[in-house]
Amino acid sequence: MLLAVLVLMQFYRPKKNSSQGDHSAVFLAETNPSKEVMEVFTQTCYNCHSNNTNYPWYNNVAPISFWLARDIKQGKVALNFSEWAGYSPKMKDRKLVTIKQTVDSKKMPLQSYLWAHRRFRLSQSERQAIIAWADQTSVFYQLNRRPE
Ligand code: HEC
């Protein structure tokens, strides 16, 4: 019975989170992360926090595909780098603070995926670079203007 359910499940594919082109151009231009920080964002965080996910092979297997779709949906509500242009300066500042906190406390990237993705694990140096970037960028938003 369980097997039948598992087999049937394979026919249901959650809609994919995918976008063409420069979906996060505003975020990158405005916050100007270093190459190191940018790579963490684009290769790791964007999978759940942007309009484009780079799907792992196991997304072809239900129910993992459902869990991932749920995490992406919730992740995008919490923070979406592709929607950066739509956030107010105050909101951007708040997002930077939560990025800093979640990276510092190792709450992000989401623990449940680290077993499958060694490269999702952040090094101490990546963590520090993100925190420094968040502090620096946050100052500009507190002044209510774009960083230059
Ligand atoms: C596999 C999916 C996934 C990845 C990868 C991921 N996140 Fe998240 N993130 C989530 C989900 C789901 C939530 C919302 C639920 C929660 O707070 O646990 C979230 C919430 C957040 C929040 C909001 C927390 C709050 O308290 O409001 C921030 C900030 C965040 N993530 C930053 C990041 C950063 C930075 C990275 C990359 C280093 C990252 N996330 C990678 C899934 C992910």
Classify residue 9: in a domain, yes or no: no
Q: Ligand 1 center to residue 3 CA distance, Å? A: 33
Q: Ligand 1 center to residue 109 CA distance, Å? A: 6
pLDDT at 147: 52
Give the pLDDT confidence of 90-108 residue by residue, as tens digits.
Answer: 999 999 999 999 999 999 9
Give the pLDDT confidence of 8-18 residue by residue, as tens digits.
Answer: 989 888 999 99
Q: Provide the domain count of the chain.
A: 1
Residue whose CA lies nearest to ligand 1 atom number 19 = 75
The structure tokens listed for 33 are: 């992360």
Give the global pTM. 0.93
Cα torsion angle, 68, 69, 70, 73, sign: positive
Classify residue 83: in a domain, yes or no: yes
Classify residue 1: in a domain, yes or no: no
pLDDT at 111: 83
Residue whose CA lies nearest to ligand 1 atom number 28 = 99
Classify residue 61: in a domain, yes or no: yes
With 70 as the cut, is the pLDDT of residue 140 above it? yes
Q: Which domain holds residue 101?
A: 24-142
